[in-house]
Structure 1
Amino acid sequence: MKTTSGGGGGVGAAESDNRTATVGIEFTKDKNGISLLVLRNHRGASATVSLHGGQVLSWKTELGEELLFISNKGLFGNRWQSNLTSRIRNVNGKNFSFSMAYHTYFSISDIIYKYIVCSEVRVEGLETLDYLDNLYQRERFTEQGDSLTFESEVDRVYFDSSNIVIVLDHEKKRTFVIRKEGLPDVVVWNPWERKSKSILDLGDEEYKQMLCVDGAAVEKPNHLVAR
């Protein structure tokens, strides 16, 4: 799955590791001594990757704007994958099936629907799709709107989506374009106020600045044949 951003909290307390530092690539350590890899392009945009688990902890534009949501209460921050390819091997000699979903947490201005004419944050590319709603005993519905806006908790799996889904943030003048292959479904999640208070690594008000939209394979599990 590939995620790009258009338009306009990284990892703090990083200490330089002088063993390896080249143009565009730098190895550092965080305050806990965990090794980090910092990538910078010629325009000044950067990404910080923890070498512990391969987590992408920060993705900043050339203006220094953070594109990923990082909880102030999280140990490593929330996971984000760019150009991520999953390779699953069948090694036990038996056929098996599996479902999967990536978890991409975007940093947004404010998810709360403020205006009658236009919401600050919306998701496009899901119109007319069937979806499973986890808030209603996994009942199946059909998306009726031209775009998805947010007025309360959302926990849905949209089926058979196109390979491109777009997240628009009007206040930040930012567009996230999510491109996916081999993942027919899309998960959309925001815990909203009540549930966010029960999540240990999420601040009570942080749900306003985060939105999870990610590729998934849920309705039709993948099948691996024994070899």
Structure 2
Amino acid sequence: MNQSEVAGDQRTGVEVTKDKNGVEQVVLRSPRGASARVSLHGGQILSWKTDRGEELLFTSSKAIFKPPTAVRGGIPICFPQFGNRGSLEQHGFARNKIWVIDDNPPPLHPNDSDGKSYIDLLLKPSQEDLKVWPHSFEFRLRVSLAADGHLTMISRIRNVNCKPFSFSFAYHTYFSVSDISEVRVEGLETLDYLDNLCHRERFTEQGDALTFESEVARVYLNSSDIVAVFDHEIKRTFVIRKEGLPDVVVWNPWDKTSKAMADFGDEEYRQMLCVDGAVIEKPISLKPGEEWTGRLELSVMPTI
């Protein structure tokens, strides 16, 4: 069965297309009109729209869509590392690889497919990958869009190695916001965080909510499973629900760092905020045959 048959004939609300560089993309649609677009380049969600056609994810106007460059925006998957350490490239290699549609995914809980448009993707290491990170794995990703427009990502990473390995991970979610100065994040109060602008020094959050007046690059540790992003100007709230993802990355580059990035507009920091479900402080360790699951559900609602 080829990929178009998987998408077009077997499931409603699923369509396989190609971008201008010939990279396959999967478009998911809900019965009410919400949509999500997933690229097989990186297994990356590039678009998530409401049933009114409002784009909820930020993508830079200067983003590069040609592999192997990672796309600046959407929801890149950071694996097997987050950040820039050792011999691996920034945020790992998963976001730069071409994934395949998984024709025979292992069963998931019925709630993760019933009434939803979904696609299953698979990434296995190439010989080139094994040279820089010598661990065999199977990374299965399910992206699903519910009738109410909720977007869910379930990552399942299995060790098919003969020895243990460890990894860190993040769903590096770029939310589209009206004006970063009008945004606050709740659910991180009193948490310890690592500040990447201060050599990963550890601090404790003192505010009732996180607001933005300058560059922020933090890893909040052991957070609750629900975090909310309030956009006051357009009275919209993103709700992030997560499982297996104890940490939360919050990032906005502000003006100086924005100007140093070739694939990011000088003023675009005003229209975006990254809030990631992640595993960073204590990496996941898998013995041979073991599997880890990390789940992220995104929803949006009017702010009351």
**TM-score bin (small chain):** 0.7 to 0.9
Q: Does 1:110 find its partner at 2:179? A: yes
Q: How does 1:31-110 map to 2 (within 5 A)?
A: 31-76=20-65, 77=71, 78-80=73-75, 82-110=151-179
Q: Distance in 2 between matches of 1:192 and 1:184?
A: 26
SS at match of 1:32: coil
**What is the CA-CA distance between 1:42 and the residue it aligns to?**
2.1
What residue identity is the alignment partner of 1:38?
V
RMSD after superposition? 2.2
Q: Distance in 1 between matches of 2:60 and 2:159?
A: 35
Consecutive unaligned residues in structure 1, runs of 5 or more: 1-16, 113-119
What residue identity is the alignment partner of 1:148?
L
Q: How does 1:133-148 map to 2 (within 5 A)?
A: 133-148=195-210
Determine the structure 2 residue equivalent to 1:175: 237
Determine the structure 1 residue equivalent to 2:265: 203
Q: Does 1:221 find its partner at 2:290? A: no
Alignment coverage as a number of residue pairs: 203
Q: Distance in 2 between matches of 1:177 and 1:219?
A: 23
SS at match of 2:283: strand
Contact 2:47 2:74 in 1 (8 A): no
Q: Distance in 2 between matches of 1:90 and 1:28?
A: 31
**What is the CA-CA distance between 1:224 and the residue it aligns to?**
1.6
SS at match of 1:180: strand
SS at match of 2:152: coil
More displaced 10-residue stretch of structure 1: 211-220 or 94-103:
94-103
**What is the CA-CA distance between 1:99 and the residue it aligns to?**
1.9
SS at match of 2:197: coil
Distance change (3 Å), C-alpha of 1:219 and 1:34 = closer
SS at match of 1:72: coil
Normalising by structure 1, report the TM-score: 0.82
SS at match of 1:88: strand
More displaced 10-residue stretch of structure 1: 153-162 or 214-223:
214-223
Q: Runs of 4 or more off by more than 6 Å in structure 1? A: none
Higher RCO (Cα < 8 Å, 6 or more apart): 1
**What is the CA-CA distance between 1:122 and the residue it aligns to?**
0.6
SS at match of 1:161: coil
Q: Distance in 2 between matches of 1:45 and 1:204?
A: 30
Q: Distance in 1 between matches of 2:54 and 2:40?
A: 23
**What is the CA-CA distance between 1:179 and the residue it aligns to?**
0.6
More displaced 10-residue stretch of structure 1: 54-63 or 135-144:
54-63
More displaced 10-residue stretch of structure 1: 41-50 or 72-81:
72-81
Distance change (3 Å), C-alpha of 1:215 and 1:35 = same
Deviation digits for residues 3-35 of structure 1 (CA, Å, limit 9, x no counterpart): xxxxxxxxxxxxxx9x95886333333333333
Determine the structure 2 residue equivalent to 1:3: none
Distance change (3 Å), C-alpha of 1:49 and 1:98 = closer
